Structure 1
Amino acid sequence: MPSHQDARVVARLDLPQPAHVVEFCPHPQAEDLIAWGGDTIVGVIRKTQTADGSQTTFTLVEEHLVGARATAISWSPSTTFSSESQIIRLVVGCDNGKIFLIDQGRVLLVGSHLDTINDLSFSFTEKHTLASVSEDQTLCIWTLPDNLHHHEHGSFQPTCATSRLSSPGVAVRSHPDRSNLFMVAEKSGIVRFYDFRQDETVWSVLLRDDGPGPAILRDADWSIEKSLLRFGAVIGSKWYIWDFPHLEPIRAGHGHEEGAHQFRWARNKNGETVFATATSAPSADTAASIKVHNIDHQLPVHVGDTSSKARVTSISWHRSANLLASANRSRLLCHSIQSGSS
C-alpha cells in the first residue's frame, strides 16, 4: 500500500465556518493568496514562510459577508499582492445562483443563474471575461466593465451571453495559452472546448465510465502545460486523462471506491503528469480522502489527516510549490507533497 510519508501537513488554520471551497490564486503576482468560502463568509488568507523556510503559516488578510453558501471561487488575473501593489479581486459563486465580485473590499453582485453555481473561471488573459456553469444547465460568459474601482453597486452592470447545455455544468476552466477558449464539462459526460469570441464549440467528446450503474461526471480540469491540450476528469470511482484531439483516454485509473468528486492538475512544473483527486464521502476503511497521482507511476500518494475521516470538501494546488490546500470541515490544511508525486 502507498505510504503517507510523502505527504505531510505543514500548516493548519481553524475557520469560523465550515469551508465548502478553497482556491489558491493561480497568478504569479499573488500566488501565496488563498480564498475560502463558507456558509455565508468568504475569506482571503496569505501563506507565509519563515526566513529559513522551515515553517509555513496562514495569515488572515480579509473576510467578507456574502450571505449564501459559497460553491465556487475564481481569482482575477488583475490580482496582485506585494509591497508595491495590493489588489484583491475574485468572484464567488453561491448555492442560490448568485455570483459576487469581491474587489478592493467591496462585494458587488455580478448576476445570477437559476440554480446553484457549480464552477467559475476568469480568463487567464482577458481580465474582464468570466465564465460560469450551473445546475440550471447553462454556460454564461460575463463581461465585467472597465475601471472597476469607479463603479458602485448601482452602476455595476456586467453583460452576459448565455449558452444552453444538455445537462448541468460541473466544471469550467481557462488556459493561459488559449485565450479564446474555455473547457466546459457537463454532468452527463460531455466535455467541450468553447470559443467564447466566436460563440461556438470547436471540439467535444462524450466521456463514458465502464463501471456498473449510471456514470456521472463529477469534475474535470485542464492542464495548464503549454505543450499540449490535456484534460482529466473523475467519473464514478475512476479518473481518466485525454489528449486533444484523441477521443479515447490515454490513461485511466482507480480513484476512490466511494466515488471521486474533485480532479485538480498540479500547477507547477509537474502539471502535465501530476494531479490530485478527492472524495467527499470517505468510508470507514478509506485510507485517505485525497490522493495524488502521477501518470508515470503506478501507486498514488495518500494525503490528509489519516486519524480522521472528516469530509474533504475542496482541494487546490499552489501555483509553483508542491503544496496542496484542502478544506476539512472548519479547518484549512496545507499539505507538502514530496517524492512519489514529483
Structure 2
Amino acid sequence: MDSSMDVRYKHGTDIHVVRACYEEAGADLLAIAGVDTVEILLITPTSSMHIASFNVGTRVTALTWSPRVASPTASRDWSIEVVAAAENYKLYLLTKSAEHEEHVFEFGGGINGHHGKINDMTFCGGRGEESMRYLATVSDDKTLMVWDLNPPTTGPKPTDSDDSLMEDIIIEFPQPTAYVMTFPHPLTSVNSHPTSSTELLVADCRGSIFIKDWRADPDASEQNPWHTSSTVELVEPYALASTVTGTSKRWSGSVSWRRDSFDIIGAAYGSGFALWDLSDLRGAKPSVSGTSFPEGNGQFRWSPTSPEYFAISSSSPAHGAAINVHHAGYTNASPVQFPLGPRPLYVRSFDFLACPGIPRIAAAVGRDLIIFYIGVLP
C-alpha cells in the first residue's frame, strides 16, 4: 500500500466502530466511536476534518447513519443524524445541524430494550417517507428489534379552549417503541437493502442467515416464531459445522447485501466467505465460497460505489492488521491484501466510503483511523 495516498486520523482512545454514510448527500461523512464518544469526520481526498463530537459516556458497540443527513459540502442547511448502540444496551440518537449544536437523545434501555450486547443495526424504511422512521437492531440476547422512532402519539388532542394553557404544558418527545422478533441463537449482523422497506438480512452466530419480512403478521406461526416471516433461510455449511462440533472459537458472522442487486448476498464466517445468488438458490447453500484469512475473518463489506468488490478484515492479532479485497467475478483468485499494522494490532472495524471515484476504505487500527484507496490513482 502506498502510504502517500493514506489519510490518517489520530484519535485519543482506541477506535471501536467505523461507519461510513452511504447517502448521496452525505457520501463524504464518516462516523467513528472511541471509548465514550462518537466523532463525525468530513473526508476529502487528502484530509479529514472534524465537524461534530457526541459524548455518549460509555463504549459504543455499533453505529448507523439515518437517511436524514446532508454534508456541509452538499448543503448550507447541513444536518447529521446517527444512532449509536452502547455496551449498556441503550441506544442514542445523535443529531447536529447548521442551526443546532450536538444533541444526544437516549432510548431503548430497561425492560423494553435489549438485554445483551447490540452487535449491529440499520435503518430499514426503504427509500420512501418512512426511510428514517424505522431502525433495526440485533443482539447477543437472540432478538431482532425494529424500533419506530416516530410512534403515533396517544391521548386527547387539545381543543381551541385549551390553547391558552398550552404554553404551561411540557410535551415530551415520545419514546420509540420496538417490535421484537426472537431467534434460537445470538445474532451478529443485520442489513437492509435500499430497494426494500420490508426485508431485513439477519445473521446468527452459527452460520444461518435469514431474510425476514419484518412487517409480516407476527401471529402467523406460534410454534416457530423465528420462522414466522422468513422469506428465505440460507446456511453457511462450514460455519454451521464448526459451531455444532465446537471448533468455532467465538461468536462471529458478518453479512451484507450488495447494494446494486437485491439478489446478491455476501457473508464472512470463521476463516471463510460465501456468496449467494437469490435468483439461483441451490438448496440454501452458497453459490461461491472461499477462504480469506485462515486465522479468522472479521467484517464483510461490499463497496457501495464499485459493487463488484468486497472486503474482509482479519480478526486475529496473530496476523496483524490487514484487509483483503476480493473481486466477486474472480473469487478463485488471490485477494489483494492491504497490511495496516504489525502484530498484535488488528482491524477492529472498517467500512467502504461512498465517495465517487476509486473505492476507499476507512479502517480502525488501535487509535488510528487509516483511509486508503484500493486502486491506483490515475
Range class of TM-score, shorter chain: 0.7 to 0.9
1:325 is paired with a residue of what secondary structure? strand
Higher helix share: 2
Matched, 1:90 2:85: no
Distance (whole Å) between structure 2 residues aligned to residue 8 and residue 282 of structure 1: 25
Distance (whole Å) between structure 2 residues aligned to residue 208 and residue 309 of structure 1: 30
Distance (whole Å) between structure 2 residues aligned to residue 219 and residue 8 of structure 1: 31
Report the more deviating stretch, 198-207 or 27-36: 198-207
- Shift of the alpha carbon at 1:114? 0.6
- Shift of the alpha carbon at 1:9? 4.9
Matched, 1:175 2:193: yes
Matched, 1:275 2:310: yes
* CA distance 1:306–1:43, change in 2 (3 Å): closer
**Larger Rg over CA atoms:** 2
Structure-to-structure mapping, 1:89-168, within 5 angstroms: 89-104=81-96, 105-112=102-109, 113-123=114-124, 124-125=126-127, 126-145=131-150, 154-168=172-186
- Shift of the alpha carbon at 1:128? 0.6
- How many residues were matched structurally? 320
Which residue identity lines up with residue 207 of structure 1 in the other structure?
Answer: E
* CA distance 1:217–1:8, change in 2 (3 Å): farther
Structure 2 partner of 1:53: none
* Matching residue within 352, 360, 370 for 1:323: 360
Higher strand share: 1
Structure 1 stretches of 4+ moved >4 Å: 210-213, 306-309
- Shift of the alpha carbon at 1:94? 1.4
Structure 2 partner of 1:23: 19
* CA distance 1:206–1:308, change in 2 (3 Å): closer
Distance (whole Å) between structure 2 residues aligned to residue 31 and residue 110 of structure 1: 27
1:83 is paired with a residue of what secondary structure? coil
Distance (whole Å) between structure 2 residues aligned to residue 260 and residue 8 of structure 1: 27
- Shift of the alpha carbon at 1:250? 1.4
Query: Contact 1:8–1:336 at 8 Å: present in 2 too?
Result: no
* Matching residue within 282, 301, 306 for 2:336: 301
Structure 2: segments with no counterpart, 5+ residues: 97-101, 153-169, 218-228
* CA distance 1:78–1:291, change in 2 (3 Å): same
Deviations 1:79-100 (A, max 9, x none): 1113322110010111221111
Deviations 1:47-88 (A, max 9, x none): 024xxxxxx101101111111111111100011113322110
Report the more deviating stretch, 243-252 or 174-183: 243-252
Q: Percent identity?
A: 28
Structure 1: segments with no counterpart, 5+ residues: 50-55
* CA distance 1:153–1:173, change in 2 (3 Å): farther
Distance (whole Å) between structure 1 residues aligned to residue 341 and residue 171 of structure 2: 46
1:108 is paired with a residue of what secondary structure? strand
RMSD: 2.2
Q: What TM-score, normalized by structure 2, do the two folds share?
A: 0.79
Structure 2 partner of 1:202: 231
- Shift of the alpha carbon at 1:110? 2.6
Structure 2 partner of 1:290: 323
* CA distance 1:259–1:307, change in 2 (3 Å): closer
Query: Contact 1:34–1:46 at 8 Å: present in 2 too?
Result: yes
Query: Contact 1:304–1:335 at 8 Å: present in 2 too?
Result: no
2:184 is paired with a residue of what secondary structure? coil
- Shift of the alpha carbon at 1:309? 4.8
Structure 2 partner of 1:59: 49
Structure 2 partner of 1:332: 369
Which residue identity lines up with residue 59 of structure 1 in the other structure?
Answer: M
* CA distance 1:258–1:209, change in 2 (3 Å): same
Matched, 1:219 2:254: yes
Report the more deviating stretch, 22-31 or 247-256: 247-256
Matched, 1:264 2:301: yes
